[in-house]
Structure 1
Amino acid sequence: MYQTTVKGDKRFHSLSEGYGAPVELFGYTEDGETPMSLVNIALASCVTMCLQSYFAKYQGIEELAIQVDSNYEEGHFTLEIQLPEELILENEQELLTFVDNYCRVKKLFREDIQVDISLAK
């Protein structure tokens, strides 16, 4: 179970109390993080953690510098995975299928929300 308490004190401003440091949210990105930017962060973080799990499980790599760039616009997330150049990836589709099967954040989205995940070339 996940729990949080969110308090609002004025228009387009809230502060959450959950498991770590409080998260302050705004209505516009120029002011700081927004609810939608947190969804974007949650998805990219989940994908990153799934990638870490994949490499730990199948290649025995416990620490690996991975970057995931994520963009959202009108029902469409686009994520690009950047892996270290020296990393040998034998099966790109297996990696992407693993992420698809285990990313719990992605599974929360409605069917009409498009999520495209690819490796940087």
Structure 2
Amino acid sequence: MYQTEISGHYLYHTTSKGYGTPVELFGVTEDGETPMSLLNIALASCVTMCIQSYFNLYHKISEMPLKVDATYENRAFTLNVYLENEFTPEEEAKVLKFVKSKCRVSQLLAENVEIQIKFFTSNC
């Protein structure tokens, strides 16, 4: 079970109390994090952990440096994943299938919300 306590202080401002440091949320990104930016963070974090889990489970790689740049616009998330090593299209398909089956954040989103994951080689 996951729990969060939200306190609304004034228009378009809340503070969450969960499992770590409280998070302040605002109505616009110019002021700080928003509910949508946290959803973007949650999805990118979950995908990152799923990719690391895949490589640990199937290749016994316990440290997998990677970087994910995530954006959301017009009911579509785009996640650009930067890895140090290239892998084959077959391996990429396996990783995407694993992420789809394990990422609980993406599974909570409506079916008509697009999630596009692209892989790139880079120094992380």
TM-score bracket for this pair, using the shorter chain length = over 0.9
- Whole-angstrom CA distance in 1 between matches of 2:39 and 2:103: 13
Q: Secondary structure at the match of 2:41?
A: helix
Deviation, 1:89, is 2.6
Q: Encode CA deviations 1:60-99: one digit per residue, 9 max, x unaligned.
A: 1111211111100021111111101xx3534111011111
**Residue equivalent to 1:38:** 38
Q: Secondary structure at the match of 1:39?
A: helix
**Residue equivalent to 1:111:** 111
**Aligned residue type for 1:89:** F
Check whether the contact 2:15–2:24 (CA below 8 A) recurs between aligned residues: yes
Q: Secondary structure at the match of 2:14?
A: strand
Q: Secondary structure at the match of 1:21?
A: coil
- Stretches of structure 1 that go unaligned for 5 or more consecutive residues are none
**Residue equivalent to 1:24:** 24
Deviation, 1:51, is 0.6
The percentage of counterpart residues that share the same residue type is 52
Aligned pairs for 1:92-103 (under 5 A) are 92-103=92-103
Deviation, 1:100, is 0.9
**Aligned residue type for 2:29:** T
Work out the number of aligned pairs and report it.
119
- Whole-angstrom CA distance in 1 between matches of 2:20 and 2:11: 24
**Residue equivalent to 1:89:** 87
- Whole-angstrom CA distance in 1 between matches of 2:64 and 2:115: 24
Using structure 1 for the length normalisation, give the TM-score.
0.94
- Whole-angstrom CA distance in 1 between matches of 2:86 and 2:8: 48
Check whether the contact 2:86–2:120 (CA below 8 A) recurs between aligned residues: no
- Stretches of structure 2 that go unaligned for 5 or more consecutive residues are none
- Whole-angstrom CA distance in 1 between matches of 2:52 and 2:28: 32
Using structure 2 for the length normalisation, give the TM-score.
0.92
